Amino acid sequence: MKTTSIISPGFVRMMAAYNGEMNVRLYEAAGRLSDVERKRERGAFWGSIHGTFNHLMWADHLWMSRFDGWAAPALIQKQSAGLFAEFAELHCARVEADAKIIAWAGRVDEAWLDREQTWFSGSVGREVTLPRGVLMAHFFNHQTHHRGQAHALITACGEKTGDTDLAFIPKAIMAAMEG
């Protein structure tokens, strides 16, 4: 299944830049909250703002271990909300991961996207093979989904993140056009 007609290298670069910019905005807003507020159980899927950020970091590392040879997280998915205990350490890891994802996205080409990826999924308990273009859609959709949850939790605490709509994030759009 050829997916580059839908998912192109430019899309991957744009979404990597958008992901990075949104993480900057959300972590800045979350950084204005107390540690107690960030870690408060709020009924979200991953519990808290901190837990949601941890899960996103865990998932990004897991997928990038498949896409670019990063070290896979030692924790299983159900433990992912506890990846980092301290917000400062998590924040530093997020900045580093986003820079690496953006650099990796700059190396993605159509030939890479047109290949299939096979891996063992602990989540479904079996080997899975899918086109990489489909996996790019999943990778970035997963980030947006859980970041949206974190955004709702942060704004419910009274913090502001600025606009989160892709169309109004110039850094993401410009990065895609330059690549």
Residues with Cβ < 8 Å from 45, sequence gap 6 or more? Answer: 52, 146, 149
pLDDT of residue 177: 61
Residue 4 has what pLDDT?
55
pLDDT of residue 47: 87
**Residues of the chain above pLDDT 90, percent:** 76
pLDDT of residue 156: 95
Architecture of domain 12-178: Up-down Bundle (1.20)
Averaged pLDDT for residues 109-128? 93
Residues 6+ apart with CB under 8 A from 25: 161, 162, 164
pLDDT tens-digit series, residues 51-100: 999 999 999 999 999 999 999 999 888 888 899 899 999 999 999 999 99
For position 122, what pLDDT does the model report?
85
- H/E segment holding residue 147: helix 132-156
Query: Could you tell me the pTM of the whole model?
Result: 0.92
Q: Tell me if 102 sits within 8 A of 16, measured CB to CB.
A: yes
Comparing C-alpha atoms, which of 153, 146, 177, 151 is closest to residue 163? 151
One-letter amino acid at 62 equals: L
User: CA neighbours within 13 Å on the CB side: how many for 76?
Assistant: 6
Q: Compute the mean pLDDT over every residue in the chain, rounded to the nearest whole number.
A: 91
Which pLDDT score, from 0 to 100, does residue 123 have?
A: 84
**Contact call for residues 129 and 116 (beta carbons, < 8 A):** yes
| Amino acid at the residue 26 | L
Q: What is the pLDDT of residue 22?
A: 95
